[in-house]
Amino acid sequence: MMTFFLQDILRIMAEQNFVDYVRICCRSGKGGAGSSHFHRSRLTAKGGPDGGDGGRGGHIIIRGNAQMWTLLHLKYRKHVIAKPGENGSGSLKHGSDGEDVILEVPLGTVAKDAETGEVHMEILEDGETHILVSGGRGGLGNDHFKSPTNQAPRYAQPGEEGKEEWKILELKVLADVGLVGFPNAGKSTLLSTITAAKPKIGSYPFTTLTPNLGIVSYRDSRSFIMADIPGIIENAHEGKGIGHRFLRHIERNATLLFMIPGDTDDIQKEYDILLNELEQFNPELLDKPRLLAITKSDLLDEELKEMLQPDLPEGIPVVFISAVTQEGLTTLKDMLWTQLNG
């Protein structure tokens, strides 16, 4: 049943409803003012100070939700505003805290400051909760300011102002295998061949503009998730194209499958460029296990494959595959499974 649930999610993501980046203005609530009240009753005409404290302003909170896979629900919500705290009152009554606003986000969401780029937090667990923007503190009532030399303070603290900050929420796709390659390397074709995913396929660059996920069926009813990351281009780490939007998804993949077409002029050079882009974006990506698939191998005969051997990168397992003829796909799945569980 879980497999069907995942397939439904992946189908929804394949439609143009997958949103992995939002920029929102968060305004937390103002704290309530403290009270400068004095006790009065039938028996007490001039009692002492009994002003209560103001309530805290509402927080903006983000919470992880394992049932969500996209930030679509926040795409058109440009302003998030929390309620202010209530003022304190007599008889030491504390004002109510302002109502918090909770933003549900999928696992793998990173929250950043929109101006400085500082990373505040990353949501990795279901139910994980963090305060994104804290509400203003409530003011102290005049009861806090009484002393032997000032027994009737007629002042209290005002509530602290709330904060208004622009935040960025980015989603990093979580998958077992991430496909890495230039546009038109055959990533979407491979995904559509060995999974039930139906990514858009075309003969022009940047056919894929959002990540696509698919479940790869393996032996004995086992499976793993593969992500088709949109094509990298040279200098993507500098933000060329929308490089940063592409590269961040690779950070959450357990294994990287590099894909280079067999008819490429220089396989080693193309592999080095891809590797350099990953290193420039995040050097830790080079610590991930990786595999190299030479795609479109139906265009190569055995003699050409032998001629290519000296030009293949060293230190990385290589497999020749063809999504058209199914060549090497079983071997590829075996190699990926071994890396994932090694």
Q: Are residues 47 and 131 in the same domain?
A: yes
Residue among 197, 221, 291, 201 at smallest CA distance from 253: 291
Looking at the structure of the chain, the number of domains it has is 2
Determine the longest span between alpha carbons in the chain, in angstroms.
Answer: 108
pLDDT > 60? residue 38: yes
Q: Are residues 155 and 89 in the same domain?
A: yes
Say what percent of the chain tops pLDDT 90.
46
What are the strands, taking DSSP E only, across 17-107?
21-27, 60-64, 79-81, 101-105
The model's pLDDT over 59-95, given as tens digits with 9 standing for 90+, comes to 999 999 988 878 888 988 889 999 999 999 999 999 9
Q: Are residues 183 and 165 in the same domain?
A: no
Mean pLDDT of 305-312: 85
CATH number, domain at 312?
3.40.50.300
289 is a domain residue: yes
Q: Are residues 132 and 205 in the same domain?
A: no
The model's pLDDT over 108-137, given as tens digits with 9 standing for 90+, comes to 899 999 999 899 999 989 999 999 999 999
Q: Are residues 163 and 35 in the same domain?
A: yes
The model's pLDDT over 8-27, given as tens digits with 9 standing for 90+, comes to 444 444 444 567 889 999 99
Instruction: Report the pLDDT value the prediction gives residue 246, as an integer from 0 to 100.
Output: 63
* Local confidence band at 163 (pLDDT 50, 70, 90 cut-offs): very high
pLDDT > 90? residue 146: yes
Q: Are residues 192 and 119 in the same domain?
A: no
4 is a domain residue: no
Identify which has the larger pLDDT, 29 or 186. Answer: 29
5 is a domain residue: no
> By the 8 A CB rule, do 318 and 306 touch?
no
Q: Are residues 333 and 186 in the same domain?
A: yes
Report the b/e string of 2-35 with b at 16+ CB within 10 A: eeeebbeebeebbeeebbbebebebbbbbbbbbb
CA dist 52 and 89 (Å) reads: 5
The amino acid sitting at 153 is: P
CA dist 11 and 197 (Å) reads: 7
Identify which has the larger pLDDT, 202 or 337. Answer: 337
Q: Are residues 68 and 37 in the same domain?
A: yes
Residue ending a domain, choose from 144, 171, 198: 171
8 is a domain residue: no
Q: Are residues 110 and 248 in the same domain?
A: no
The amino acid sitting at 280 is: Q
| Domain containing residue 156 | 17-171
Instruction: Report the pLDDT value the prediction gives residue 30, as an integer from 0 to 100.
Output: 97
CATH number, domain at 115?
2.70.210.12
> By the 8 A CB rule, do 141 and 90 touch?
no
Residue ending a domain, choose from 171, 189, 218: 171
Q: Are residues 109 and 215 in the same domain?
A: no
Secondary structure of 19-42 in HEC code, one letter for each residue? CCEEEEEEECCCCCCCCCCECCCC
Instruction: Report the pLDDT value the prediction gives residue 17, as an integer from 0 to 100.
Output: 56
Q: What is the mean pLDDT of the chain?
A: 84
- Decide: helix, strand or coil at residue 172: coil
pLDDT > 90? residue 307: no
Tokens of 7: 């397939």
> Which helix (H) or strand (E) is 275 found in, with range?
helix 267-281
> Cα dist. 273→38, 204, 264 in Å?
74, 20, 13
Say what percent of the chain tops pLDDT 70.
85
9 is a domain residue: no
1 is a domain residue: no
Q: Find the angle CA(31)-CA(36)-CA(37) to the nearest 5 degrees.
A: 120
Tokens of 87: 């003022």
Residue ending a domain, choose from 137, 171, 205: 171
280 is a domain residue: yes
Q: Are residues 192 and 123 in the same domain?
A: no
Instruction: Report the pLDDT value the prediction gives residue 240, as an integer from 0 to 100.
Output: 46
How many Cβ atoms from other residues are within 10 Å of residue 330's Cβ? 13
54 is a domain residue: yes
Tokens of 331: 């071997």
Identify which has the larger pLDDT, 158 or 299. Answer: 158
Q: Residue 146, class by beta-carbon neighbours within 10 Å (0-12 exposed, 13-18 middle, 19+ buried)? A: middle
Q: Are residues 167 and 183 in the same domain?
A: no
